[in-house]
Chain A
Amino acid sequence: MDTKTMNPHLKTTPSKHGAHPVAHAWVLRTLAGVLLTGLGLTAAHADGSRMPAKILPSYTAECAACHTAYPPGMLPARSWQRIMKGLDQHYGSDASLDAKSVTEIGQWLQTHAGTYKRVSEEPPQDRLTRSAWFERKHRQIDKAVWQLPSVKSAANCAACHTGTERGMFDDHNLKRPAGLSASQSRAWND
């Protein structure tokens, strides 16, 4: 990645064309998107990250210290609101934070909430793993697979999704967790 596209405020060498590097990158991205879509791939493959372009640093530092940095769009705003209000009892663990971080992270989550798969339902216990879209996507996964020591729970996306850190969850970035039986392994075949 070009360092200048990462920080447009840095002083740049004047260009003969006068094209702003960010605009340049945007054009290329758009072009790539159009080309890939033309080839029958969806936009999700062209730019598969489910994470917002700018990830709040405190979201990574605080939330991802214990678990996957879940894309905010995978839960509706109301669910995030409840989660941020009850951090001292957070799915069996005390995840309490200072007030400033709670406000900052809470606002960021509200801004980016509920865009994936037209998320609108508030899943039971505000667990994204109980959402209809999640269960549909994972319907071929044997229930026992979630309990494998190499998986631990459905919330451990990275057990199978190798692109988790980058917010990529498509079927092309999958691995088989250790301990799968032959029949359980079949869900990974296609």
Chain B
Amino acid sequence: MRPSQHSSHPSRPSRPPTRLWALAALCAAQTLFMPGAQAADTTPAQQLSHWTAQAGAPAQAERGQALFNQRHGGEWSCASCHGTPPTAQGKHASTGKSIEPLAPAFNAKAFTDTAKTDKWFKRNCKDVLSRECSAQEKADVLAYLTRIKP
């Protein structure tokens, strides 16, 4: 509901600029303080090289693709929620909540936040493989995902 303040002050010239400033301040505050905002402290390429260095061996996209699409003894594969290839919106396998495309070429935000990337690797590897993924496995999956082009 919008209070009808305008009608009582029809001739006040200073209101629109004040509103614009208020809006600008709100936007600035949101960008600065929204915890959900993307930190953008990494890139998919940096993630790939980081995990490749950790693994101490070259990443293999083929191996990553297989890991992504296969089930590993559990109910779900990575593809169960992200789709295959993960180039479109996915769907959470149990809740139905939509998931942004995972392949970086189709989602500019994918793998651009280190904390978020670490959090989801940990959770999702537990869900799919019942354990955390190795550095080699993460590098392989990143090699596969970054290879996917439009």
Seen from chain A, the residues whose Cβ lies within 8 Å of a Cβ on chain B are 1-7, 10-13, 15-17, 21, 24-25, 28-29, 32, 57-58, 60-61, 64-68, 88, 91-98, 151-153, 155-156, 159
Chain B stretch 46-75: residues in CB contact (< 8 A) with chain A:
75
Say whether chain B's binding surface is mostly helix, strand, loop, or mixed. Answer: helix
Is the C-beta of B15 less than 8 angstroms from some C-beta in chain A? yes
Chain A nearest CB, measured from B19 CB (Å): 6
CA–CA, A12 and B22, complex, Å? 9
Q: Which residue of A lies closest to B91 (CB)?
A: A152
Cβ contacts under 8 Å, B21 to chain A = 11
Cβ contacts under 8 Å, B115 to chain A = 98
CA–CA, A58 and B34, complex, Å? 9
Is the C-beta of B25 less than 8 angstroms from some C-beta in chain A? yes
**Is A7 within 8 A of B3, CB to CB?**
no
A-B CB contacts (within 8 Å), total count: 88
**Is A24 within 8 A of B35, CB to CB?**
no
Chain B nearest CB, measured from A99 CB (Å): 13
**Is B123 within 8 A of A159, CB to CB?**
no
Scoring B residues 17 to 32 as 1 if CB is less than 8 Å from chain A, else 0, what string do you get? Answer: 0110111011001000
CA–CA, A61 and B136, complex, Å? 29
Q: Which residue of B lies closest to A150 (CB)?
A: B96
Apart from A93-B94, A98-B119, 11 more pairs, CB < 8 Å:
A2-B5, A3-B23, A7-B26, A10-B22, A11-B18, A13-B14, A13-B15, A24-B3, A94-B127, A95-B123, A153-B94
CA–CA, A12 and B126, complex, Å? 51
**Is A28 within 8 A of B123, CB to CB?**
no
Chain A nearest CB, measured from B102 CB (Å): 14
